[in-house]
Amino acid sequence: MGQKMDEAFKEKARSLKTILGLLEQHPHKFGELFESVKKETKLKIKERTLHRHLDTLLELNLIVYDDKEGEYCLPQSKKQVFESKHDYDLALKHSRLLVFSTKETQRFDQMDPFLALDVVVFFDDPLNRDIDNECVMQHLKTGYYKEVYVFMQKYRQLLDKTGVSLWAGLPKLFSSEFAGETPSEIVVQASTLKDEYIKLPRRYGLGASKDEFIHVHRKEMKEIYDLRNLLVGKLYSIVNDVRNGIPMRGYCDHCPHHKLTIKEQD
């Protein structure tokens, strides 16, 4: 029984990977996609099975359905079209170097998700400055402006406005008062506190003494965590795209794009 389930899981995984690979090349209508999946996987896949696979990918926001064209495509109408496989491979390698860990560097796949968000948002912090995080932020600005970058700017502005960016807990944004709690649990706790303001220790060494504190209104703290949870989801959706063979959109100062020809399709 277990072996059959393992085989079924592997077969589904292979089909999902094949679907994403085909849609990376260009949008497909259902019939065309059905024939291509059968050919690529050499499986006797049924139409209802393909429908289930597509529903799974749609629920995960890994693909979208274009009602106007009657086609399935990547959530990139936003699609980047590369002139050659070499160009695509080069862009994907660059994206993977920015988001995945190496022997020398820990990146998003091995970092606490909330830490990953904060080190990107504070890429210009003298204590955490990192060229890879700066490149990621440039990609977000040029390739995901409305859906991610604008929210990151709002998040950074709110942290600076409230003084939380000077909190000793950055970049993890945790306080000993809520030790061991998840961000969502902290929001619940913060909303039930009797005091209107939450007291946080300021980072020592940034012009503060050891007994200086920041006072943040609990409603603003809740707004910070709500925005933070939203951004973590968006950031890791991009990481998941790269894991599935979709290069990051946009460009940065260290992109190999001067060697590539990339078109943005509407």
5-39 pLDDT per residue, tens: 567 677 788 888 888 888 876 778 899 899 888 88
E strand residue ranges, 35-157 = 64-66, 71-73, 79-82
CB contact at 8 A, 156 and 121: yes
Q: Where in the chain is the domain with CATH 1.10.10.10?
A: 2-75
Tell how far CA 75 is from the center of its chain: 13
Q: Looking at per-residue confidence, does 257 or 74 come out higher?
A: 74
pLDDT in tens, 65-118: 888 778 888 765 445 667 777 888 888 999 999 999 888 888 988 888 888 888
CB contact at 8 A, 24 and 74: yes
CB contact at 8 A, 166 and 214: yes
Tokens found for residue 2: 């277990």
Residue with tokens 């460009």: 251
Tokens found for residue 218: 């609990």
CA distances from 108 to 11, 101, 122, 169, 221 (A): 28, 7, 15, 19, 25
Q: Could you give phi then psi for residue 57, rounded to 5 degrees?
A: -65, -35
175 half-sphere exposure, CB direction, 13 A CA radius: 21
CB contact at 8 A, 241 and 82: no
* Strand, coil or helix: 41: helix
pLDDT in tens, 126-150: 766 788 889 999 898 878 877 898 8
CATH of 2-75, one of 1.10.10.10, 1.10.3470.10, 3.40.50.150, 3.40.50.720: 1.10.10.10
Of the candidates 261, 233, 264, 257, the one whose C-alpha atom is nearest the C-alpha of residue 93 is 257
pLDDT in tens, 104-113: 888 988 888 8
Neighbours of 266 (CB within 10 A): 5
Peptide bond into 183 cis (omega under 30): no
Confidence of residue 207 (pLDDT cuts 50, 70, 90): low
* Mean pLDDT to the nearest integer, 230-257: 87
Confidence of residue 251 (pLDDT cuts 50, 70, 90): confident
Q: Could you give phi then psi for residue 129, rounded to 5 degrees?
A: -60, 130
Pairing of strands 71-73, 64-66: antiparallel
Q: Looking at per-residue confidence, does 199 or 107 come out higher?
A: 107
CB contact at 8 A, 117 and 133: no
pLDDT at residue 65 in the model: 86
What residues does 19 pair with on adjacent strands? none
Tokens found for residue 159: 């942290």
